[in-house]
Amino acid sequence: MSAEGLIEPVAREVLEVMTRLNTKITVLADIFVKHASPLHRMTIEDVAKDCVERALADALVVTGPRTGGEPPDPLLLRRVIKAVNTKVLVGGSGINPNNIGDYREAHGFIVGTYLKDEEGQIDPPTKARNMVNAVKALAKP
């Protein structure tokens, strides 16, 4: 449930369109999506497994509670990785060079807000360079 009303998944419809068009698109499933609360009591692990096994998601996104603000709980990300360790995990919302080390198990990151200035414009390459350097540092032993 969200402020906008009930949010319903559309995995079946996406699969039908891919079949009809005879094409494959990469599907990222945002589990425990921000800005809404589930009407069920499933664990994040069970939701992750359902997204992979039933909805055939190619990757899972674990986000924080606010866009660009609070990052996801690193423990939640680790729990999802343990539950579906063969799928790509993307950390989103609030990831920046200062906290990226907490998410080293993720396969990718959503960093749109970090890259923007106060007016919402992409900052000149400085922030992008900082983020790339932080990601490269994760690969070092």
Domain boundaries along the sequence of the chain: 11-139
Confidence at 46, pLDDT banded by 50, 70, 90: very high
pLDDT digits (tens, 9 = 90+) for 71-121: 899 999 999 999 998 677 888 888 999 999 999 888 888 888 888 888 888
Q: Using N-to-C axis directions, what is the helix angle for 44-53 and 74-83, rounded to 10°?
A: 50
d(CA 110, CA 114): 9
3-state DSSP helix/strand/coil percent for the chain, to nearest 5? Answer: 40, 15, 50
Averaged confidence pLDDT in the chain: 87
- Residues in Cβ contact with 37 at an 8 Å cutoff, skipping those fewer than 6 apart: 1, 2
In words, the CATH class of domain 11-139 is: alpha beta
Q: What is the pLDDT at residue 80?
A: 94
